[in-house]
Structure formats: C-alpha cells, structure tokens
Structure 1
Amino acid sequence: MTFTPAPPNHGIKFQRIDLPDQPVVDADVDYVVDLSRGTTIEHNGARVNTVEHTLAALVGLEIDNVLIKIDGPEPPILDGSSKMFIEALEKVGVQQQNALRNFLEVTESIMYRDPERDVEIAALPLDDFRVTVMVDYNSPVLGSQHASLTDIQDFKKDIASSRTFCFLHELEMLYKNNLIRGGDLNNAIVVVDRVVKDEELDYLAGLFNKPKVEVKKEGILNNVELRHRNEPARHKLLDVVGDLALVGRPIKAQILAARPGHAANVAFAKKLKKAMMANKSSAPYYDPNVEPVMDINQITQILPHRYPFLLIDKIFHLDETTVAGIKNVTVNEPFFTGHFPGNPVMPGVLQIEAMAQIGGILVLNTVPDPENYTPYFLGIDKCKFRKMVIPGDTIKFKCELTAPIKRGIAQMNGYAYVGNTLVCEASMTARIVKNQ
C-alpha cells in the first residue's frame, strides 16, 4: 500500500492497482457495502476491506487529500492499530496546501440510536473535534470502559497504538468465515472471559499455526501486553474516528458514542452526511492571525476598482476553483450617510458588488498577467438577501466555480456570511477581457 500526494479538493481515495484499469473508490460512506468485523467500501468494481484503521491515521494527522494505491483487497493489518500508518506518513512528512479545509460544522445536535444493540451516538455543536466513547461488554475482564480524545493532535500518542480486539468465543467463528485469515494472534487483543481448558488452547494453537497458546491471569490470550489500561475502549474510539472519515470532510463537533460498532458508526456517518448535504454551503474559516493570500495593496494591483467602490479588504484563500475574502463594514462607509442614516444598513446591491469583486479575483487568477485584464459581470441570478449587514460586521465572502472557465467566461456561486450566518447568496456569470 502506497500513500501518494493529491491536489486540493481531491479527498481520500483508494486505487486497486492490481485490478484491470486500476479502478478508484472514494472513501465515502455511500460506498460502504459490508460491515463484517470491519468497514468495506466498493465502487467502480473496486472493493477495499477494513479501511477504518487507515482512515483513522489520516484523520489523526489531519490529511485531507491522498490517493492510496493498494495491490490487494485490504490494507495490511500490521499490529491491529493505526500506529504504523502514522509512523510511515510522518516519516515522509505532510505538506500544507493553499486551500481551505472544508469542515463539516455541526450547528445543531444530531442523534442516532439503535435500541436493539443499545447503541447511542450524538454529535453536538463545537468549534473543534472531540470524541468520547463508552463501552460495556458485560465481561469480568473488560467491565465498563471509556476513552476520550479532546485534541486531534493527541491522536498519535493516545489513540493510534490501540489494537483491535475480540473475545475468545469469536475466534473460531471468525476464522471459519474467512474474516481473519490475514490476522495473527499477536496483532489483536483476544479477551478470555471464561475458564479455558488446555485442549481448547491446543486446538487454537493448531488453528493459528502457533507452538503454544497461553492465557494471562488478567484474561488476555497469548501473553499480549496491553498498551493502555483501557485499550479496547481506545480502539473503539479509533474505529469511530476512522468510520466518520467516510463523511468526506473533517468534522467540527463533540462526538459522544455509547457502545459503538461499525454498523452504528456508518449509520451515524450517513446521518451526518445527509445533514451536510442539506446545508452544503458553509461559511469559510477565517483566522485573522494567518497572513493573507492578498492584502489590500496586492488587491489594488489586480482589480481596477478604487475608493469608494473597492469593497474588499483581504483575500485569505485562493485556489483553482474557490476564493474567499473579507469586507470590514464600518460606520464610516460613504453609503451610510444616505442609506438609512438613523438606522444604517449596508445596501444589498453593494454586497453583491463586493461578492463580484471577490469573484473577479478568482477569474483573474486564471491568467498569468491579471493586471492586464478587467473582469466584467454578465449576469446575476438567484440572488437572495437573508439578513441585514450593519456597521461592525465582518463579511466573509466565498465564490466557487460551478463549471470550468471557457473562452474567459466563468460561472460561479457566491456566498456572504457574517460569522456563520448566511446573509447573501447569488449565482453569477463573469468574463475577463484583456485591456486595450
């Protein structure tokens, strides 16, 4: 299995290089086809089994774009955790890309419950990603356990090394159903929660081609040392992180999971994706402490607009398909002297003009000498004003191309936000013309 770099907005994809035409399958919850002791995805004739440990490692390192080339149906089990994936990825390093991370931001509580399995999972609004998992196996060895991840930066040291586990009574069934043929007694924790006779241990030793199988006093088969006191709960958290990666975006939410499993994780991921698609356009993340892509001086070198009609202050993101920038609205704007001076409100037409200027930056970015071109807008459609903009607001604008630019003509959707609230949106068509 080889991790290869991918461009912005590529996402996480697997490629079966051992199959004809080397088909690619997106790491997408809509492509989950099997949940027998792991999460299996399939698309375009490509099937990849047990993807959750690999995906968890990518989430833990905050890797959004990667093509994983694999010459078989399943990532290697390694030691049953995400630890070795983390180590391999860190060895080659991670590159920052000039693109906004497209977060799924949970703005209201999303709940999932499976009464038959007594499973409950919830996502609560939070400007961060945190996960808490509680498990209870009614076992004298495991008992009740919980694990928490409060900072994704801690995934590597606190969660990644936690190995998969199963109970002794599951082993033979799994082996006979061809589910753990790539595994080994030493890359999984086998919990022994009953008295085991010597002849049964000898049978297991023969089944797995081992000279001897032993039971430790704490109920762990074959002398495997636990890496954490609550390693099973931590591995369940690892599985939650990996399965939720199938939503397709990094998540901002507090995830609470009671007795989760792959089936529940995937069902919950589908619920999250449904909510994400219902609110497809989300506010871009803006950090004023980060150096902008373009400041006002750079903007004036490209756009022909000047006071009082230059209506953007900063570009904080720019790639091939998306641009984002801000407009700081102050009471000193010239239009406030005549536009409801006793109750100042930014005119909607100027919001659209500012959005158009942001879009102009995106279109001009497609030519090597943008200072020699002028953007002209040909049409505005589906324009809606959703909330008043007043002095003191900072408007975050985002424009996205909806089709490739042809003959200098671009089609895009524009959005304006104050905080995370959508205040204005429109579809726009623009053309760039070379100056005479």
Structure 2
Amino acid sequence: MVEKILKQQTIQNEISLSGVGLHTGQQVHLTFKPAPENTGYVFKRVDLEGEPLIEANVSYVVDTQRGTNLEKNGVRIQTSEHVLAACVGLEIDNVIIEINASEPPIMDGSSKYFVEALEAAGIKEQEAEKEEYVVDHVISYKDEQSGSEILVMPSDHYKITTMVDFGTKVLGTQNAAIEHVSEFKKEIANARTFSFLHELETLLHHGLIKGGDLNNAIVYVDKEIGEETLQRLRKAFNKDDISVKANGILDNLTLHYPNEAARHKLLDVMGDLALVGTRIRGKIIATKPGHFTNTQFAKKLAKVIKEERRNKVPKVDLNSEPLMNINDIMNILPHRPPMLLVDKIYELTDDSVVGVKNVTMNEPFFQGHFPGKPVMPGVLQVEAMAQTGGILALKSVPDPENYLTFFMKIDNVRFKRQVLPGDTLIFKLELLAPIRRGICQMQGYAYANGKLATEAELMAQIVKSK
C-alpha cells in the first residue's frame, strides 16, 4: 500500500479576533496570517519596535507558571498553548500569529474561538510535504517530584491519552483521549481551563489573572469556603453573588463534559508539544500532565529527533546522474579550483540540498595538512558545506549568477571524525528559517563512510555582485 503524501497547510486569508489577556487584563488584538512553507508557527509582537518574531520553539520556553511562556531576545509570549493547540488540531503547519501584547486573549479559556477563526480564514494546501517524525521506540520523561509522566510510543498516526488525578474529591480521577487529530475540533477544542480555589486565592493575592472572570475558567472548590472568601471573590470578579454548585464548582458555569478537566489537559499537551516543531506519528500517553512536564518532554523529544536526523545519512546513488554536475555548479557559484569544494548536487528543494565532494590525494591542502598523515582540514569541510548551501541560497533569486553569498556567522561546529583521501563526503543543508532580506540560516551536516563527520549552523547573506 502506497502512503499518501501529505502536503503542508496554511490559511487562505488573514483573520483577527480580540479579547482580554488572562494574567495581564489587557485588551489584546490577535491576527492570524498566512505563512510560507516551512515557516511553522511564529508569534509577532506588533506592539514593539521592529515587530520582533518569536518562533514556537521549545528552546524558548522560560517558565511554565500558569501557562507555557516563551522568550526570545527579551521579548515574551505568555500562555501560548491554547492558540498552538488550535493550529495543530486543524493540521495547519504554517501561520504567523500577530499580537499587540505579551499574551493571546483568553477568550473562554479554551481553543474554541481560535479554531473558529482559523476555519473562517480557510485552510490552503501548499506544495511542500509535511515534515513528520515517525516514532519507532518509546521515549519518556517523568518528573519525580510531582509524579507526572509523559511518553510517546509507536503508532500509525498521532493520538493522545491523558489521565489526571489531583488527589481531590471534587475533581477525582479523569481520563480523556483522541484517536486522531481530526477529533480535536469536536471533542477537545471547547474544553476550558480550570483552577482550584486555593490556587485562585494565591493568584489574586499576587495580582495575577486580571482578565479572569467566571466565564473563562472553571473553579473547583477544594476547601471550605467562608463568607470572607466569598466576599473577596465577589469583589475580584465584580459579581453581586457567588456560590458553590452541588458538583463543587463555582457558579455561572456549566461543565461541557464530566471530564472537561482531562480534556483541557489534553488540549494543553497538544499545544505544548507543538513546540517540538514537527508533526509526530506516535501515541502520547500523559499521566498527571502539566506545562512543566509537557515542555520538558518536548525538549527531550526535540533533542532525540535532532540526534536521529543528524546521524541519518542521505540516500544518494553515486552512480546515478546528478541533478547538477561540476559545470552546472560553476555556472552558479563563483568559486574555482582549488577553492571549489563541491563536485555534484543530487537533491535540491525549496528548503534543502544534498551535494557530494570526492576527496582525493590530489587535493592541494594534503601537501601540508599533514605530511605523512593527510587529513582534510575541518575549516575546509565547513567551507564545502557552505558552498553546497550556497546553491540552495542562490536558488531563491532569479539570476543566481549575478549574486554572491558571504558568511555572517558559524555556530555549534562539531568535528566527529577525520576525513581522509579516498573518502566521499555527502553534504546535507537544511534551512532553519525562511530566507528573509537575503539572510539565510542553515543546519549543515557532512557524512563520510556512512558516519557523521562534521556539523554546523551557518548564516550567510545573499548580495548582488557589482
């Protein structure tokens, strides 16, 4: 059976909605905008100078108090999970999320209104294939202090089960599950956030949840509630009367489901795992999940994915006809022997390139590096990777022969093994972000004899030659 190739998706039109921020109490205007292929989910703070971008990436998680909070270069995004869950739940891959405050509007405490807005904007298929990590072994994380645990195991598609137990009679033990992401809209999206009364009192004492009211958060009363406490709550929520329902929930709200808390925890898991940055084919089982455990697991999973990809040698038939031979390469790159260090290009897409360098004893650098012990200098391996990446970068301009690429930065360079005469180096370069204003960021790998030899993050600028 041939697997259907899934294409990336974005939205057709931009769409906006407004509401109040849960913790700041500010009025917030949020706009979803279409994004190019391989953009992922990107927040844009339009209220700040330069309108800085914060990618939805687990490496930017700075704290998980009352939500998953991101920070990049001093710019923060608070409570990102409900918006991200909506994007994942509708299987949207690329979208720009513009907001004029540090946190999205809380709306009713769920993902419902974000889902409705994204659907109203329309979903559009793009040309690039979806990136997917296929789980082939169990990966898990456990927080020993809280007993929270989350794992992923092999499955034929993405599915999630959550099990919650807060040790309180009012909430008890609850489970929730979806067998397919397509169930998110109907079964999970409208599950609202919740809090316990003792947490609520602490948050109010510290001046948080300024945007909270009894319509966007379920409050479970897990302690005796006296008249003094009721009076404080009436004042905080600007209500004439507040009481406790028979099911132990503060009034003005009716549960959508008996297990709404577990469903909301599933929503949070889906939103937090969006920060891994790739589609997951596997089954998630989360026991007593919380934002800290979710994001720690996301960090571990992202690290595993990166490690597996960096050690995965591109499949190249060296006897086949290349996409570009040495003459084709010289028509694009300005480099010439002895500084032309890529011989053939075998793959070239909008966001990646695979090239080859045959390393022979005739290379001039072997004369001095080192006599009697020839080893290819690491700096030239990085240069060869950069030249291969230059082919990808120059693909973004209509007349590449009139442009040059210049190094701006090299980060996280690692040399894993020696490259010797007779080796065939296979290079793979992938864009880390869409090319903007001529700035190109790539992750590069060089493989020799089926093993990773060198890796580096490269940044270059595309400049028109005079």
TM-score w.r.t. length of structure 2: 0.64
Residue number among 283, 290, 311 corresponding to 1:261 in the alignment:
290
Query: 1:206 corresponds to which residue?
Result: 235
1:320 equivalent in alignment to 2:320: no
Residue number among 12, 18, 22 corresponding to 2:41 in the alignment:
12
What SS does the aligned partner of 1:279 have?
helix
User: Distance in 1 between the 2:394 and 2:145 partners?
Assistant: 57
What SS does the aligned partner of 1:96 have?
strand
Query: 1:107 corresponds to which residue?
Result: 136
User: Distance in 2 between the 1:247 and 1:425 partners?
Assistant: 23
Closer/same/farther in 2, CA of residues 90 and 402 from structure 1, 3 Å limit? closer
C-alpha displacement of 1:201? 1.6
* Amino acid aligned to 2:263: R
1:130 equivalent in alignment to 2:159: yes
User: Distance in 2 between the 1:261 and 1:148 partners?
Assistant: 16
1:60 equivalent in alignment to 2:89: yes
User: Distance in 2 between the 1:90 and 1:165 partners?
Assistant: 26
User: Distance in 2 between the 1:367 and 1:268 partners?
Assistant: 40
Query: 1:420 corresponds to which residue?
Result: none
User: Distance in 2 between the 1:183 and 1:228 partners?
Assistant: 21
User: Distance in 2 between the 1:126 and 1:262 partners?
Assistant: 24
Query: 1:98 corresponds to which residue?
Result: 127
C-alpha displacement of 1:280? 2.0
Task: Check whether the contact 1:167–1:191 (CA below 8 A) recurs between aligned residues.
Answer: yes
Within-5 A mapping of 1:33-432: 33-280=62-309, 319-322=349-352, 382-383=424-425
Task: Check whether the contact 2:214–2:252 (CA below 8 A) recurs between aligned residues.
Answer: no
Q: How many pairs are equivalent?
A: 335
Structure 1, residues 35-75: CA drift from partner, whole Å, max 9, x if none?
11101001033211000001100110111111111100110
* Amino acid aligned to 1:200: T
User: Distance in 1 between the 2:74 and 2:394 partners?
Assistant: 40
Task: Check whether the contact 2:142–2:150 (CA below 8 A) recurs between aligned residues.
Answer: yes
What SS does the aligned partner of 1:112 have?
strand
User: Distance in 2 between the 1:248 and 1:402 partners?
Assistant: 14
Structure 1, residues 119-178: CA drift from partner, whole Å, max 9, x if none?
111111223111111011111121110000110000000001000001111112112223
Query: 1:394 corresponds to which residue?
Result: none
User: Distance in 2 between the 1:282 and 1:163 partners?
Assistant: 42
C-alpha displacement of 1:383? 4.6
What SS does the aligned partner of 1:22 have?
coil
C-alpha displacement of 1:279? 1.3
User: Distance in 2 between the 1:105 and 1:12 partners?
Assistant: 21
Closer/same/farther in 2, CA of residues 219 and 15 from structure 1, 3 Å limit? same
What SS does the aligned partner of 2:117 have?
helix
What SS does the aligned partner of 1:97 have?
strand
* Amino acid aligned to 1:146: N
Gaps of 5+ in 1: 284-299, 305-316, 325-358, 370-379, 385-397, 416-422, 428-436
Task: Check whether the contact 1:23–1:44 (CA below 8 A) recurs between aligned residues.
Answer: no
Closer/same/farther in 2, CA of residues 399 and 175 from structure 1, 3 Å limit? same
- CA-atom RMSD in angstroms: 3.7
Closer/same/farther in 2, CA of residues 424 and 217 from structure 1, 3 Å limit? same
C-alpha displacement of 1:183? 1.7
TM-score w.r.t. length of structure 1: 0.68
Structure 1, residues 318-356: CA drift from partner, whole Å, max 9, x if none?
8523489xxxxxxxxxxxxxxxxxxxxxxxxxxxxxxxx
Task: Check whether the contact 1:383–1:424 (CA below 8 A) recurs between aligned residues.
Answer: no
C-alpha displacement of 1:425? 9.8
User: Distance in 1 between the 2:153 and 2:194 partners?
Assistant: 29
Query: 1:288 corresponds to which residue?
Result: none
Task: Check whether the contact 1:135–1:146 (CA below 8 A) recurs between aligned residues.
Answer: yes
C-alpha displacement of 1:252? 1.3
1:28 equivalent in alignment to 2:57: yes
Task: Check whether the contact 2:85–2:267 (CA below 8 A) recurs between aligned residues.
Answer: yes
C-alpha displacement of 1:367? 9.2
* Amino acid aligned to 2:81: E
User: Distance in 2 between the 1:197 and 1:114 partners?
Assistant: 35
C-alpha displacement of 1:199? 3.7
* Amino acid aligned to 2:277: G
Closer/same/farther in 2, CA of residues 367 and 12 from structure 1, 3 Å limit? closer
Task: Check whether the contact 1:15–1:46 (CA below 8 A) recurs between aligned residues.
Answer: no
Gaps of 5+ in 2: 1-29, 313-320, 326-346, 355-388, 400-421, 455-466
Task: Check whether the contact 1:146–1:233 (CA below 8 A) recurs between aligned residues.
Answer: yes
* Amino acid aligned to 1:236: K
User: Distance in 2 between the 1:367 and 1:274 partners?
Assistant: 33
* Amino acid aligned to 1:4: K
- Percent sequence identity is 48
